[in-house]
Amino acid sequence: MSKPIIAIPADIREFDGATWHAVQQQYVRAAVKAAGLMPLIVPALEDGNDADAILDRVDGLLVSGSASNVHPSLYGKEAREGDGPFDPARDATSLPLIRRAIERAIPMLAICRGIQELNVALGGTLASEIQEQPGIWDHRKPQNVDRDTMYSIRQSVFVKEGSCIARIVGPGEVRVNSLHRQAIAETAPRLQVEALAEDGTIEAVSVIGAKAFAVGVQWHPEYWAETDSPSRKLFVAFGDAVRDYAASKERLAAAQ
């Protein structure tokens, strides 16, 4: 069987006066090398994308991290100065894909901005500049360092016993690379909290009652997916779920 195909929604970026639809290499590489999948980049459009047309043609959805933040208007808040940068085209592309992937039982892995989009798509809210809140650590990425140092594994999260992620990486303490200044505030009703940082920040969720793999993590398993065991296990589990879905589609097509 050929490699299953997954969709990765793009970000909008400006280079040399032109607008680009872009996804960071680390997500593409992890999908290919660790999960054994073939990624296709979905253009970020404020209008005109057809979520079902996209999902008809793929076997999974990977929602990546980004330097931009989900616009607060999408979870009932007013945007404050400093809440950005925003990417309305990414919001308009990712949120419908997330909702329809869950409804259609298409496997999904959401990372960093992706977990925030997942929470908002299902009715939750986000907190900005969490490092300013009493008792919350500074989860932001370090400045003026190389990328390996920036994404170094230096933080503990605690995976809940019996959770979806516990079945993949084991329960208890797991060391990760979590880099963010926004986080889940009110958890969407359909999300189960799977892991917490030591300061109580939500670091992983799963979709309650999902009929396929539907997990979001605040950290960055894609960066070390080829060398770090927990990171690789997450991508392998996602890849296995995508392959199972692709095989079921083939069986259904053959039976018709």
Taking only the tens place, the pLDDT of each residue in 64-83 is 999 899 999 999 999 887 78
Any residues with CB less than 8 A from the CB of 22 and at least 6 apart, and which? 10, 11, 12, 13, 41
d(CA 126, CA 179): 15
| Closest C-alpha to 113, from 178, 46, 67 | 67
**Tokens matching residue 74:** 């999408």
State the chain's maximal CA–CA distance in angstroms: 59
- What percentage of the chain reaches a pLDDT higher than 90? 83
Alpha-carbon distances of 170 from 109, 166, 201, 216, rounded to whole Å: 18, 4, 19, 16
pLDDT band, very low/low/confident/very high, at 1 (cuts 50, 70, 90) = low
d(CA 55, CA 130): 34
- Residue 37's identity, in one-letter code, is L
Q: What is the pLDDT of residues 90-147, one digit of tens each?
A: 999 999 999 999 999 999 999 999 999 999 999 999 998 777 777 776 677 777 789 9
SS (H, E, C) 22-62: ECCHHHHHHHHHCCCCEEEEECCCCCCCCHHHHHCCCCEEE
Q: What domains appear along the chain, each with residue ranges and CATH number?
A: 5-255 (3.40.50.880)
pLDDT band, very low/low/confident/very high, at 31 (cuts 50, 70, 90) = very high
Return the SS3 of 73: helix
- Mean pLDDT confidence for 21-30: 97
What is the helix (H) or strand (E) element at residue 121, kind and residue range?
helix 113-121
Q: What is the pLDDT of residues 193-235, one digit of tens each?
A: 999 999 899 999 999 999 999 999 999 999 999 999 999 999 9
Q: What is the pLDDT of residues 156-199, one digit of tens each?
A: 999 999 999 999 999 999 999 998 888 999 999 999 999 999 98
Q: What DSSP state is assigned to residue 113? A: H
pLDDT band, very low/low/confident/very high, at 20 (cuts 50, 70, 90) = very high
Beta strands in the chain (DSSP E): 5-9, 11-15, 18-22, 38-42, 60-63, 108-111, 126-128, 155-159, 172-176, 182-184, 191-197, 202-207, 214-217
C-beta neighbour count of 167 within 10 angstroms? 12
Q: What is the pLDDT of residues 36-45, one digit of tens each?
A: 999 999 999 9
The residues annotated as belonging to the active site are 112, 220, 222
Q: Helix (H) and strand (E) counts for the chain?
A: 7, 13
Q: State the chain's mean pLDDT as an integer.
A: 94
The answer to whether residues 177 and 224 touch, using CB atoms and an 8 Å cutoff, is yes
